[in-house]
Structure 1
Amino acid sequence: MILTYGDSKRGLVRKANEDAISMKVDHLFLLADGMGGYDGGQVASSLAVESGGRYFSSLPPEKAFSEEGLKEAFCAANRAILAEKRDSPALQSMGTTMVGAAISGDHLYWAHVGDSRLYRYDGGELTQVTTDHSFVMELVSEGKLTKEEMRRHPRKNEITRAVGIDENMKVDTGSMTLSDGTLILICSDGVSGMVEDDELCRLISENPRKTGEDLKALDRSIMEKVYEAGARDNASLLLIQFWN
């Protein structure tokens, strides 16, 4: 059994919500965090989840539910944004992060570009599965910055990879087997940048996750922490709860 819940909110600083989430295609979950100004960010993130979802649904299931199928869907999103930029000079600076997960049985396939994240919660532990494509994460990988320092760095919002920028976009992919009770959290940096991983883990562990209403309550708990911390960016998340 899979329970799901998605939410996307405008923060306290931005004039518009430039995030987009989609659960329109069965067992496909997409989240994008747009960039490129008031109009560009909204266009890019919406195009990404819509075109990516449409391409994914056009594939035969045995092809779609695979790392390669998700990667192709991301590439379709990339082409759609690049095409829109060619037709709309005012949107030249737009692009977006993108995270996707597709579930078949007890197997999850994921794909990722940018600094939005996919986490896995199991047995009381929260693990970040994706690696941020960001300037500060490169410094962390090189041992020049700690994860605590990363959160306060003046260039923490600079991403090194995005959808809609390069025709030869690189997409990270992976897969995992889901256990009874596994929770998947997909979120924009408006969530992960406002709430520490330890706090996210605590909120998940303290909330029951047996019903859709439980997931809605967990979402409220997380969003409350985002706004208490200042909600400096738009905040979006997808919750996917797996039970055998």
Structure 2
Amino acid sequence: MTKAFRLIASTGIHKGDRDYQQDQVALLSHPRYNGCVLAVVADGMGGRSGGRKASDQVMMTARQLFERYCPDTDDASSLLEHIVHESHIVIRLTAISAEQEPHSTVAAFLINPRGDCHWAHAGDSRIYHFQGGRLLYRTADHSYVQALVDRGELTEAEASNHPHSNILIGCLGSESDPPVTMHLISQLQPGDVLLACSDGVWHYFSPAELASVLESLTPREATEFLIDKARSRARGGGDNLSLVVVRIEALADEKKLPPLVAPLTLSA
């Protein structure tokens, strides 16, 4: 029998040091099934109008398909794949009449009422899974530098500062179908924290720093802190920022405040 739990969540978005916002973020509660939620981050690319049109299309498609989803009978992974592929098709159609070429990443996770969690991503927006102040798993970017890391030609630290770190090998709106990587958490546990974010956020933090922040602060506090810290570290050259934080707590812990497990030790 699945233990009852509650979700505490927050979203955040900021245009950073860009002139316009191309990121989009959403945390959707299912209109008919309590405890069923969908989190989506989309990082649009292709100029001011092109990138925003692309990320808007991801959000519109996600909302429409999620509203028709039934967790009792439908397959969550199939839903996420449909969101990615249908968004890709419409973005490609939009490109025919657009002055710029619209593209977008997507990082989405769906939590069912029984506690299973399904992920899908394409591009370099990421999803992280933390438990007890440590990283359990994260998505691997569909990017040029991630391919170098996978081949052992770069370390993770070298990849984050590589001059070609922004080159993607797959995303929505490209000529070829986007790569879609799936992941499953069969049962979420109290203390689990999920983070989905664009590269404008994760680029400025190590996994250990993210783990410390998310363990020490509430989702809303962590969202505000990460945006402020990323902007500070970008030193005037930061990208758009978007993120979703979801913490899983047991209902029995409802009256307890989350403990300050680890001090924040981030430097500028």
| TM-score in same-fold range (> 0.5) | yes
Q: Does 1:223 align with 2:227?
A: yes
Compare the two structures and name the one with the higher helix fraction: 1
SS in 2 for 1:61: coil
Within 5 A, what are the aligned runs for 1:139-158? 139-158=148-167
Q: Unaligned stretches of 5+ in structure 2?
A: 1-5, 31-36, 251-268
Amino acid at match of 1:89: A
Q: C-alpha distance in 2, partners of 1:157/1:50?
A: 26
Q: C-alpha distance in 1, partners of 2:195/2:238?
A: 20
Amino acid at match of 2:205: V
When Rg is computed on C-alpha atoms for both structures, the one with the higher figure is 2
Q: C-alpha distance in 2, partners of 1:64/1:240?
A: 23
How far 1:128 sits from its partner (Å)? 4.0
* Equivalent of residue 101 in structure 1, options 100, 109, 114: 109
Amino acid at match of 1:235: L
- Equivalent pair of 2:50/2:98 in contact (CA under 8 Å): no
Q: Does 1:78 align with 2:88?
A: yes
Deviates more, 1:158-167 or 1:56-65: 56-65
* Equivalent of residue 232 in structure 1, options 235, 238, 251: 238
How far 1:65 sits from its partner (Å)? 4.8
* Match in the other structure for 1:138: 147
- Equivalent pair of 1:25/1:53 in contact (CA under 8 Å): no
Within 5 A, what are the aligned runs for 1:24-35? 24-26=28-30, 27-35=37-45
RMSD: 1.6
Deviates more, 1:227-236 or 1:140-149: 227-236
How far 1:60 sits from its partner (Å)? 3.5
Q: C-alpha distance in 2, partners of 1:54/1:95?
A: 20
Q: Unaligned stretches of 5+ in structure 1?
A: 208-213
Matched residue pairs, number?
235
Question: 4+ residue runs of structure 1 moved beyond 4 angstroms?
Answer: none
* Match in the other structure for 1:17: 21
Q: C-alpha distance in 2, partners of 1:78/1:62?
A: 27
Identical positions, percent:
27
Q: C-alpha distance in 2, partners of 1:96/1:221?
A: 26
Alpha-carbon displacement from aligned partner over 1:77-125 (angstroms, at most 9, x marks no partner): 1122112122x2313x210000111111211011100001000110220
